Amino acid sequence: MSLRPLLIVLVAIWWGWPALVAAQSAEMSLADYDRLLRATHAAAQRGDLLDLQALAGELAAITQVRMPDGQLARVDQGWLTAALAQPTPDLPAIAARLGAMIDALAPFGNPAPAGALQQWEAVFNEPPFNREGEGWLTRFLNWLFELLDQLFPDVPAIPAPDLPTAPANPAAFTPIVWVVLGIAGMLLAGLLFFWARGVRRATRAPVKAPITDDEDPVTYSEAQRLAAAARSAGDRRSAVRYLYLAALLWLDAQGLLRYDRSLTNREHLHRLRDQPPVRDLLAPVVATFDAVWYGFQPIDDQAFAHYEQQVAAVQALTKSVGSAS
């Protein structure tokens, strides 16, 4: 038996294997593609050219996106590669186009919230759709307006300006009508008074100042405390930021990375190039932080718990590295 056909098949598999692997790696789910677009958009908005080029390289490798129904959609980011190849890339124009792409993906990647039907029912059961829950004042005003309609059943419509009009008849305003109009005027004045007082109280209500970058923690424990406080207050976006700072401050305290506020996230990762295990654990933490903080991507409880585990994994690995050394 000749071995020549077998050798031909083996050579064909050898040469075709890289293309098969590249074809598989060029596919991405719609959710991951949306997160990558938001991170790239955030880098373009803040003018981080180094981070933008790195993320653009990841986007350029994607040729197909798997939609929620299982179908594959072809994508081509050649325009982004060409725009970044210019001597002076137009970052605002790139950010605007990426933002338009994110908006175009919204109908496909953002289904209606689980409580949308309950919210609709709650609104529909309130006035003016449901009049059963109206207060006594609303019912009285409705009765008053119906009474005025009965007292003036034959009030003509306002004619066109170029048509002659008849003079008003003062006899039509009986004493009862004047009493009703006086009561209505007093009620209206009272409503305006209470409305103005409510607006005045609302404008005097104390407003809690939002958390700013000037309150950045300087130690790992302080960052963890601020993250816990933000999570308890329902501000998961700030909690994500403080947990990311906690990871960087922990690495700084272990002597593995010097934390510098002037450096970008990708530059911090680049400084860990000689420590691949630590860099690989910190990379998803950086990606989630960019998507939530700069890309304003919402994060639910399950995703936040997974993010906390990623930060804890960075701390656990560096503890083992420090004990081994």
Asked if residue 145 belongs to a domain, the reply is no
For residue 159, what are its two tokens? 């004619």
Q: Looking at residue 255, which CATH number applies to its domain?
A: 1.20.120
Q: Hey, which residues does 66 pair with through a beta bridge?
A: 29, 72
Asked if residue 89 belongs to a domain, the reply is yes
For residue 325, what are its two tokens? 């050394």
User: CA-CA distance, 94 to 40, in Å (whole number)?
Assistant: 10
Domain boundary residue among 69, 88, 108? 108
The confidence score (pLDDT) of residue 18 equals 44
User: CA-CA distance, 310 to 81, in Å (whole number)?
Assistant: 31
Range of the domain at 312: 217-324
Domain boundary residue among 108, 137, 152? 108
Asked if residue 127 belongs to a domain, the reply is no
DSSP run (H or E) holding 82? helix 78-84
Asked if residue 65 belongs to a domain, the reply is yes
Q: Which one-letter DSSP state was computed for residue 74?
A: E
**Domain tally, the chain:** 2
- Reading the chain (325 residues) residue by residue, the pLDDT tens digits are 455 555 554 544 444 444 443 444 578 888 888 888 899 989 889 888 888 888 888 888 888 988 888 888 888 888 888 989 999 989 898 988 888 888 887 666 555 555 555 665 665 566 555 555 566 667 777 777 777 676 666 545 555 455 455 444 544 456 676 777 778 888 888 888 877 777 766 555 443 334 444 568 888 889 899 999 999 999 999 999 999 998 899 888 888 888 888 888 888 888 888 888 888 889 899 999 989 998 889 999 999 999 999 898 888 876 655 554 4
Tell me the residue type at 140: F
For residue 266, what are its two tokens? 């990708």
Domain boundary residue among 92, 108, 124? 108
